[in-house]
Amino acid sequence: MYLLAFIYRKLMVFVILCALSRSRSQFGSSRMSRTDGLQANTSQFTLEGKPFRILGGSIHYFRVPRAYWEDRLLKMKACGINTLTTYVPWNLHEPERGVFNFEDDLDLEAYLQLAASLGLWVILRPGPYICAEWDFGGLPSWLLRDPNMKVRTTYPGFTDAVNPYFDLLIKKVVPYQYSNGGPIIAVQVENEYESNTGTHELNVNVLMMKECVSQPHKPKMVMEYWSGWFDTWGDLHHVFPAEDMIAVVTEILKMDMSINLYMFHGGTNFGFMNGGLAEGLRFPKPMITSYDYDAPLSEAGDYTTKYRLLRNVFSHYHSEDLPKTPILSERQAHQPAVIHQHLSLWDSLQFIDKPFKSERPINMENLPVNNHNGQSYGYTLYETAINSGGSLKSNNNIRDRALVFVEKQFIGVLDYESLELMLPDGKVRKTLSFLVENFGRVNYGPSLGEQRKGIVGDIELNKKPLQDFLIYSLEMKPAFINRSTSGHWVSMRQKPSFPGFFQTKLHIKTQPKDTFVNLPGWGKGVIFVNGRNLGRYYSAGPQQTLYLPAPWLNRGENQLMVFEEKEADGKIQFSSSADYGMTVDVK
């Protein structure tokens, strides 16, 4: 029995809830009688009983600040797109088991309402697995507390977790399906299943789409035409020439097919949400913070050559003139913000919960934190006592990268490539520390279910397993960032130690504008702006700047904090444009 059959059964609830919810549809009684939704009964889609070609584009609400949703969707509409597609990230909506979040930047219903108000149809892709170059493919990390977990199967531990989430999610989206006067004309319930059919088999009131084998005498659609590609740290920035992309889009449309552009606007992997690439590789390669994707609409919402060429192509498939393109917002390159205080990692431990004692190392997800849901993201510090130096072997049990210290002095790095370090000799009792980073869980492939992070097995010193650990959870949530600002910070006149936190303030006299953070001379870490985790930076590139949207800045004083692993320049710089590094064509 496959997961897809399980999801079919879950979607039967969609039918029942649809009938129950018609009396309370948010779209008005005049629209509740719609029955001629998207159909796939002939060689062409039909909608409202008329031939309909899907000109689709993907914009993920969770990769865009809510304040910019309308701007991005208006630009989509002005390009000639008639259908919005979006995933729904389970890991953000249920960060702890039974604790749901559909507010603020995660207000899915507000996003659907906005799409409807702008005249865009919606293809919803609710998961539970979404891939999307997103951490763990959108699955919540607390699933991995079960040592026998088998994700994307009918394993009871997985389906029992999906059930309450889908029950709540379906209740939220049912009022927005087409038959209730809403914008949702189709649903794809699980990513990467290679087939497609209509939901008439299930008596569901909107079309269900599954990837992606065409059937005879049915409409043809390219559900994901990749407008660009993603990037991984240490690689080059992938670009797809506009002329090549437009040539293919033009041919697809000439063949009377529908299309969905993935992505139309990529946005940003804010915080620790980037996924990892593993299929066919010796070890995972984490994605960068930007999800610009070389898409028609840039990470910051700029029009690109692809946008302008697409708009021209799509205009031929509309009977009326396309809307005018919205005016672009201004950018600002602030003067450098000079760092004035620092706080060592070791001094910051006073602002986190008490450490956990364990005879053996415990992986991040099984730590007794977050109401026993484990740690999901960030760093974990493992400390133990040693009485000698010698050969330290990880046995490939570091996930994904550890900075190793003896008495707070940096010794080296253990990761998928570096599996052994030599520790300095000495018979005095010393503290051995491992600062382990979750660099992003794999989002696709056969290793999807093996994404536990931290230290996942024994580490050996001179062939003997280390024991008696003190374990600190460094998830770097907003509460920790806010508490740490009141700590005893040290002036930059005193040489900082690494890893450490660095802070300064940015004063803005006028209404804030979008900007890009640039950190030349820094090594690797995370930057927080007014308590928000902007994302990772890394001198290995290709990404050189981090997008900082204006709605996250204040007129007046702004708090900037950087967590840096190994070196700091002493100031934070800003630019008015993005720099994604050296480029390479997508092949």
pTM here? 0.93
Listed as own residue / partner, the contacts of 448-452 with beta carbons closer than 8 Å and 24 or more positions apart are 448/136, 448/137, 448/139, 448/151, 448/152, 449/149, 449/150, 449/151, 449/152, 451/136, 451/141, 451/144, 452/144, 452/363, 452/364, 452/365, 452/366, 452/399
* Beta-carbon contacts of residue 178 (< 8 Å; ≥ 6 apart): 34, 37, 38, 184, 185, 205, 206
Q: pLDDT band at 193, cuts 50/70/90?
A: low
Average pLDDT for 86-112? 98
How many residues belong to the chain? 587
Question: Over the stretch 505-559, which tens digit does the pLDDT of each residue have?
Answer: 999 999 999 999 999 999 999 999 999 999 999 999 999 999 999 999 999 999 9
Of the candidates 528, 560, 554, the residue with the CA atom closest to the CA atom of residue 270: 528
Question: Over the stretch 356-391, which tens digit does the pLDDT of each residue have?
Answer: 999 999 999 999 999 999 999 999 999 999 999 999
Which H helix or E strand runs over 247?
A: helix 242-254
pLDDT of residue 206: 76
Spatial separation of the C-alpha atoms in residues 468 and 399, rounded to whole Å: 20
Instruction: Give the strands of the sheet with 55-59, arranged side by side.
Output: 207-208, 184-187, 121-125, 83-87, 55-59, 258-265, 221-226
Give strand pairing partners of 260: 56
422's tokens: 């030599």
Average pLDDT for 193-198? 39
pLDDT of residue 208: 74
Question: Over the stretch 248-274, which tens digit does the pLDDT of each residue have?
Answer: 999 999 999 999 999 999 999 999 999
pLDDT of residue 312: 98
Spatial separation of the C-alpha atoms in residues 318 and 308, rounded to whole Å: 16
Topology given in CATH for the domain delimited by 3-315? TIM Barrel (3.20.20)
Catalytic amino acids? 192, 224
pLDDT of residue 282: 84
Topology given in CATH for the domain delimited by 492-585? Jelly Rolls (2.60.120)
pLDDT of residue 97: 98
Spatial separation of the C-alpha atoms in residues 472 and 426, rounded to whole Å: 26
pLDDT of residue 509: 96
Which residue intervals of the chain bear CATH 3.20.20.80? Answer: 3-315
pLDDT of residue 214: 55
Q: How many other CB atoms are found less than 10 A from the CB of residue 587?
A: 6
Question: Over the stretch 15-44, which tens digit does the pLDDT of each residue have?
Answer: 323 322 332 344 543 344 477 899 998 999
pLDDT of residue 454: 98
Q: pLDDT band at 300, cuts 50/70/90?
A: very high
Whether 399 contacts 363, CB under 8 Å: yes
Spatial separation of the C-alpha atoms in residues 99 and 89, rounded to whole Å: 14
What CATH number does the domain located at 345-474 have? 2.60.120.260
Which residue intervals of the chain bear CATH 2.60.120.260? Answer: 345-474, 492-585
Extended beta strands in 387-439, E state = 390-393, 398-399, 401-406, 409-415, 420-423, 430-437
